[in-house]
Chain A
């Protein structure tokens, strides 16, 4: 592209692009877990259902455990892989 020689891509975008991809990755894991348990176990005839804490196993794994697992995964991923960057262009401004 012309006239761009003196400029460089905002380095913070490297971080934001990576985190957007992580978000998509999390959503895919979330979907696979949710779908796999729900229709894998829930697709059997009702007479063959197993129960955990009184709930059908498909529901327990897909919705209850799946929700808890996703909360934990988000916690870990955000803590480990999300980087703090300043938002103001001039660098981190003091918050008064």
Chain B
């Protein structure tokens, strides 16, 4: 065990957890357990909102997988990763006020609350819950594996032990704290991520003898490393641009991000969050991926991409500083899985169980079942992570694409197009997810673009066409929905 790194790391994380509990305990408790546990009582201010969005979005792939690919591909992959700057302002400005106002009108706590009131269809809610549970489970497993790997390499314990430690700490935290604790610690985790990024970037530039030196070394090894086209020339402009959909504007359709767009206090919080979020997202993405490329000049010949960042940190920084920098990816992983865990359990408990199975459950019973379901899912993910698959970024991106294809139009058009109806939403979810899975299996990267692009367009066409074709159905109900959502 590497004590010089482990001890600062553990102290850091321990202090963080203590702070989370402390903050949660002394903040105002909302009147309603469900709203408090799953949404933090709609009370987030600007800084917390920005940081919880950045931290939820920035995950193991931003700190480990992404820089690992950048190491092999060169500056072209940094260019690709910069498509993510758009998420800092786009999600909040597009969902922004409309979602916040609407959610208050219908008293929505989860994404499914919104879908249920907007479409008045049991099937939309069930299908959406299924998508959330399946895809977020996959993406959480990827993160969990990332967390286990990280602890394994930093602490020098076996993967199994690392996974166990990781599971216990995440569960203790989420079960006891709920959304508010998650959002508050996300803020601190976001700062750790930003600080860690700056330290490691500066350290790498110094170790490589300055930017000019590093870039010359890279160009001498393979000139393609400093072009936008990737080490092997495989990154075409079209392919890289298509990532603007999957990791850029399409993020609007991710439930874990969308739910944050209804959790803030007031307009001012949203405005501040857009400004901070854009800057912090950009700084982290640019810093981490650029570090990945520069690492090639400092530590050439690393075979497994995922090990570039841990090795680099341990090589170039003194061990106490390495402990703090390595807290950044752990922070990223914890802040992502805690949100996903809450989202899955809210889907199961609130959207399925309370809505359709037992809607007269007592407050106390709901509380117990929410906590047990959260814990149970955590244990299931732990079991799934014991024999992990290899490249976590693609597993993670698969879940990303599936969720985006399912949710982007039912959310966005549900908010802005009043003729959209349940049939359109159902059709768009089925076609979006179905075509995504089929394409991914049989024809990935169709026409030179990321696999998600075609399904996103197909689901748009289906949403609009089916809504128009079925506009004569349930006219009265549709009018009631429109009245409730659009009129005062």
Contacts and interface: CB of A to CB of B under 8 A. Distances in A.
Answer whether A and B are interacting partners.
yes
Contacts of A23: 89-90, 92-94, 96
Contact of B210 (A11, A15, A54): A54
A43 to B, nearest CB: 8
B219 A46 contact: yes
Dominant SS among interface residues on chain A: helix
Interface in A53-73: 53-56, 58-59, 62-64, 66-67, 70-71
Nearest to A7: B487
Contacts of B274: 74, 78, 82
B97 A16 contact: yes
Dominant SS among interface residues on chain B: helix
A8 B105 CA distance: 15
Contact of A8 (B271, B282, B488): B488
A16 B266 CA distance: 13
A90 to B, nearest CB: 10
B249 A19 contact: no
B211 A55 contact: yes
A42 B6 CA distance: 42
B93 A26 contact: yes
A46 B85 contact: no
Interface in B82-119: 82-83, 85-86, 88-90, 92-94, 96-98, 100-101, 104-105
Contact of B101 (A7, A12, A31, A49): A12
A56 to B, nearest CB: 5
Interface in A1-46: 1-4, 7-13, 15-17, 19-20, 22-24, 26-27, 30-31, 34-35, 38-39, 42-43, 46
A62 B282 contact: no
Given A67-B282, A74-B278, A27 B249 contact: yes
B100 A1 contact: no
A19 B85 contact: no
B331 interface: no
Interface residues of B, number: 59
A68 to B, nearest CB: 8
B93 A19 contact: yes
B64 interface: no
Contacts of A66: 82, 85
A8 B75 CA distance: 53
Given A75-B275, A78-B274, A7 B483 contact: yes
Nearest to B264: A87
Given A15-B97, A16-B101, A55 B215 contact: yes
Nearest to B240: A38
A19 B83 contact: no
A96 to B, nearest CB: 7
B224 to A, nearest CB: 8
Contacts of B82: 34, 62-63, 66-67
Contact of B237 (A3, A16, A35, A63): A35
Contact of B94 (A3, A24, A51, A87): A24
Nearest to A85: B267
B387 interface: no
A29 B83 CA distance: 12
B237 A82 contact: no
A66 B82 CA distance: 9
Contacts of B85: 30, 66-67, 70
Contacts of A49: 226
B416 interface: yes
B478 to A, nearest CB: 10
Given A16-B101, A42-B227, A87-B266, A4 B96 contact: no
Interface string B257-278: 0000000011110010011001
A78 to B, nearest CB: 5
A8 B237 contact: no
B460 interface: no
B98 A17 contact: yes
A61 to B, nearest CB: 11
Contacts of A24: 90, 94
Given A7-B483, A85-B101, A87-B267, 14 more contacts: A7-B487, A13-B98, A16-B97, A20-B98, A31-B86, A31-B244, A35-B241, A42-B227, A46-B219, A63-B79, A71-B278, A82-B274, A84-B266, A88-B104
Q: Can you list the 5 inter-chain pairs with the closest CB atoms, starting with the nearest?
A: A23-B93, A54-B211, A54-B212, A7-B487, A16-B97
28 contacts: A1-B479, A4-B479, A7-B487, A9-B487, A10-B487, A13-B101, A19-B96, A19-B97, A20-B93, A24-B90, A26-B89, A46-B219, A46-B223, A54-B211, A56-B226, A59-B228, A62-B228, A63-B82, A64-B286, A66-B82, A66-B85, A70-B89, A70-B278, A71-B279, A78-B275, A82-B267, A85-B101, A86-B266
